[in-house]
Amino acid sequence: MLKRPLFIVFEGLDGSGKSTCAALVAKRLEAELMTTPSPDVRRYRDALVEALGPSQEARQLFYLATVFAASEKVAALLAEGRSVVLDRYFLSTQAYAAFRGSRLASAVSLAPRGPARMGIDEVQRLLTPADATVYLDTPLSTRVERLRRRGASEADLETITAEADARLREEHLGRASLGVLGRLVHVQVAREDAETVCDRVVAALRAHLG
């Protein structure tokens, strides 16, 4: 049993195995399993995102709204003494937005007079911080195999070139110092089964969090 409630986030590129691993870790920790967007929002997400048109900024702000909603729920669960495992949070929202060309990705602007304006990455200071963020680093070949097996979407297909894979890794790991991540637990994944990866993640969390 845990000595205190923990907030653990899983991040990784599409097809990295994070959703499966998040579910297994949540079960082991007897934690609440959450996703962003939430299941209720997922039911109409695709239609809503399509309705927003080609603006990557509009799409990014939609996903950020789901992150803030998750943050509020996480805070309430932690206050009740319940641990939470969350499949995707702030890091992937920003990384994918930057990859797809959003001008809000990390720009910082200073007003000529008055207070400085937040760069979009800095809104992370308003979110419930994780105790640890597990980044599953899965080879491109394995991601491609998994995505094709489950039926890759158009958005998935954008991420499976060598150039896209490298860029997305850069966008994720370039934000490793953000406070909302807590401790970044970087787990290299080869071709292990999900239970083996889960064992390694739990061991790494124990090492980092005690």
Just give the CATH number of 7-104+116-209: 3.40.50.300
With 80 as the cut, is the pLDDT of residue 111 above it?
no
Is the pLDDT higher at 202 or at 2?
Answer: 202
Assign 80 to helix, strand or coil: coil
pLDDT tens-digit readout, 141-158 = 999 998 988 887 877 888
The burial class, CB within 10 Å (0-12 / 13-18 / 19+), for 41 is middle
pLDDT tens-digit readout, 18-51 = 999 999 999 999 999 999 999 999 999 999 999 9
Residue 105: predicted pLDDT: 64
Q: Is the dihedral of CA 87, 127, 72, 182 positive or negative?
A: positive
Report domain extents, the chain.
Answer: 7-104+116-209
With 90 as the cut, is the pLDDT of residue 119 above it?
no
Considering only 43-52, 67-76, 87-96, 109-118, which range has the smallest mean pLDDT? 109-118
pTM score, two decimals? 0.90
- Contacts of 184-190 with C-beta under 8 Å, sequence gap 24+, read 184/132, 184/133, 184/135, 185/132, 185/133, 185/134, 185/135, 186/135, 186/137, 187/134, 187/135, 187/136, 187/137, 188/137, 189/16, 189/17, 189/136, 189/137, 189/138, 189/139, 189/142, 190/139, 190/142
One-letter amino acid of 205: L
Please provide the average confidence, as pLDDT, over all residues in the chain: 90
pLDDT band at 56 (very low <50, low <70, confident <90, very high): very high
How far from 23 is each of 7, 84, 168, 193, 194, CA to CA, in Å? 14, 11, 23, 14, 10
Is the pLDDT higher at 116 or at 8?
Answer: 8
